[in-house]
Amino acid sequence: MRRRRRPIEDLRTAIDCLPVHTRVAMLEGVRRWPIIVGAYTDRRGGVCPMLAAHRCGGRTNFLAFARAWDRYTHAKRPRRATEHEVATLIAHLEGSLLGDPSADFERAIADHQSTARERREREAARVGWSWLWHDERSRADDREHEPA
């Protein structure tokens, strides 16, 4: 007879299967937004950990994580995650990043920040605000090259 694994073991396995950039983004998102269980979003601004990661640049769809998260939290209906549940998720995300010798944590953060910066610049250009950033940069360049 097969023994059923504990929900925390399934959650840890699902976290370890996520790409490094998604784990970094999820860690940032979990700290930034209110986290819920049992749904993708709620009407009060709460988001599931995968959506939080997606909003921070971790564009990964991984259904096994969502199922493991809901199983770990015993989600029967959408609700806010408890502090303990969020703290456990953060601890496992940090542990998976620190324990992974192939994970270059600083490089992943720099890549994520670069991607986010480029996205903001594209959005600013699309809505017509890019002239603000371009104008500020050109003024700074002009000041650097002024004769003393």
Q: What are residue 82's phi and psi, to 5 degrees?
A: -75, 165
Cα–Cα dist 124/135, whole Å = 13
Query: Is residue 69 domain-shared with residue 132, that is, in the same domain?
Result: no
pLDDT tens, residue by residue, 24-69: 999 999 999 999 999 988 889 899 999 999 999 888 888 899 999 9
Q: Give the containing element (helix H, strand E) for 76.
A: none
Residue with tokens 């192939």: 102
Query: Is residue 95 domain-shared with residue 121, that is, in the same domain?
Result: no
Boundaries of domain holding 42: 1-103
Average pLDDT over all residues of the chain: 83
Query: Is residue 91 domain-shared with residue 145, that is, in the same domain?
Result: no
Closest residue by Cα to residue 62 from 81, 79, 48: 48
Burial of 83 (0-12, 13-18, 19+ CB in 10 A): exposed
Query: Is residue 17 domain-shared with residue 69, that is, in the same domain?
Result: yes
pLDDT of residue 142: 53
Looking at per-residue pLDDT, the higher value among 103 and 148 belongs to 103
Q: Is residue 1 scored above 90 in pLDDT?
A: no
Query: Is residue 76 domain-shared with residue 146, that is, in the same domain?
Result: no
Supply the DSSP string of 88-148, one letter for each residue.
HHHHHHHHHHHH-TT--HHHHHHHHHHHHHHHHHHHHHHHT-HHHHHHHHHHHHHHHTS--
Q: What is the tally of structural domains in the chain?
A: 2
Query: Is residue 113 domain-shared with residue 94, that is, in the same domain?
Result: no
pLDDT tens, residue by residue, 70-79: 999 999 999 9
What the block records as the tokens of 22 is 């998604």
pLDDT of residue 54: 92
